[in-house]
Amino acid sequence: MEIEAEGIRKTYLSKAGPVEALAGVDLVVPSGKIFGFLGPNGAGKTTLTRILTTLSRPDAGRARIAGFDVATQAQEVRRRIGYVSQAGGVDSGMSGRANLVLQARLQGMSKSDTVARVGELSDRFGLGELLDRAVKTLSGGQNRRLALAMGLVHRPSVMFLDEPTLGLDPRARVDLWQEISALRADGSTVFLTTHYLEEADALCDELAIIDNGTIVSQGSPAALKREVGSDDVISVTVGAGHARADGARTEIEALAGANRVWWEGDVLRVSIADGGEALPHLLRLLDAAGIEVRSVTLSAPGLDDVFLQKTGRSFSAEGASEQKPKGPDKADEKTDAGQLQGA
């Protein structure tokens, strides 16, 4: 086991009173996997990452990295881990090359090894002439690639990435996902935190979902989604004819695989086993009942459904605080969403 943690607790004392950032976290991360730590802002992801990387002491509990205790064998741990913080950690007062060289020298490399390693990393991350530019002029994605290269200088066996794609545009995000997947191919273990559902889904082999300092669920993305049930949800926004819609209700409920039919305002929702197959039948039924269909969304179960079921709240980047019903505005977070206009 590459990372093991038991009973980790951490409470911060702030002016507004104590904040319990971690309320007893247990974790086991096998080696050679990309392990995702998914949770909304303020859930405790950075707090745990800082404890595992020896930057902060837990109030209670123990953690080991590659068998070494983070509190009592910090030096051994530091030799084996790489860390890219949420802020990135690139010194903007220096060139990328100077940043990389310092990192390599501090990891104990000789001058000639350093030159060779900087060359290797520059090729691997396509840094090239970017290395001699002022760091301030790099794009968000370029800065993150440099930060990742810096974390990898000493070939760590475990890499910690705290929100590695925070604030990147979609293109740069996908590029970075490829770099992170390549780490796994090298045999490294990756521990990353994220509050992007699609990132957790697309990139991670194994996930822990954290909310308010507690892990609410753990497993592979597919297993987590299976656990909450395999229904798709069809959402139909109707125009005129809302009042008459209930006439079609019995017929809709009779569709093959339909489990639940309910209204949210002028949106009709149908929870159904195979949404794609049922969609044409549903539209025909609505048409026959004289109901005007404005738009249709089909969503497969996603990690937000897992979060909703485990916490009773919907997942949102703003701290998962408000009760938000499933709605078409979240369709882009689903794995399989399609939209049809009119009918």
Ligand X SMILES: Nc1ncnc2c1ncn2[C@@H]1O[C@H](COP(=O)(O)OP(=O)(O)O)[C@@H](O)[C@H]1O
Residues in contact with ligand X by the rule CB under 6 A:
12, 14, 19, 21, 39, 41-47
For other proteins, the closer of residues 90 and 291 by Cβ is 90
Quick check: helix, strand or coil at residue 92?
Answer: coil
* Binding-site partner at residue 325 among Mg ion, other proteins, ligand X, none, CB < 5 to 8 Å by type: none
User: Which helix (DSSP H) or strand (DSSP E) does residue 236 occupy?
Assistant: strand 232-238
Could you write out the DSSP letters of every residue in 296-339? EEEE---HHHHHHHHHSS---TTTS-S-----GGGGGGSSS-EE
> Least distance to ligand X from the beta carbon of 53, Å?
13
By the rule CB under 5 A, 46 interacts with Mg ion: yes
For other proteins, the closer of residues 11 and 218 by Cβ is 11
> Least distance to ligand X from the beta carbon of 318, Å?
12
For Mg ion, the closer of residues 60 and 317 by Cβ is 317
* Binding-site partner at residue 30 among ligand X, other proteins, Mg ion, none, CB < 5 to 8 Å by type: none
Closest among 65, 68, 67 to 48, alpha carbons compared = 65
* Binding-site partner at residue 188 among other proteins, Mg ion, ligand X, none, CB < 5 to 8 Å by type: none
DSSP bridge pairs for 219: 207
Six token digits for residue 307? 């979060």
> Least distance to Mg ion from the beta carbon of 46, Å?
3
CB of 189 closer than 8 Å to CB of 32 = yes
CB of 148 closer than 8 Å to CB of 164 = yes
For other proteins, the closer of residues 93 and 342 by Cβ is 93
Q: What is the DSSP letter of 7?
A: E
- Positions 291 through 310 that interact with Mg ion (CB under 5 A): none
> Least distance to Mg ion from the beta carbon of 123, Å?
31
Taking 3-state DSSP, the helix, strand and coil percentages for the chain, each rounded to the nearest 5, stand at 40, 30, 35
CB of 269 closer than 8 Å to CB of 305 = no
> Least distance to other proteins from the beta carbon of 98, Å?
7
Quick check: helix, strand or coil at residue 214?
Answer: strand
For ligand X, the closer of residues 45 and 326 by Cβ is 45
Residues that bind Mg ion (CB under 5 A): 45-46
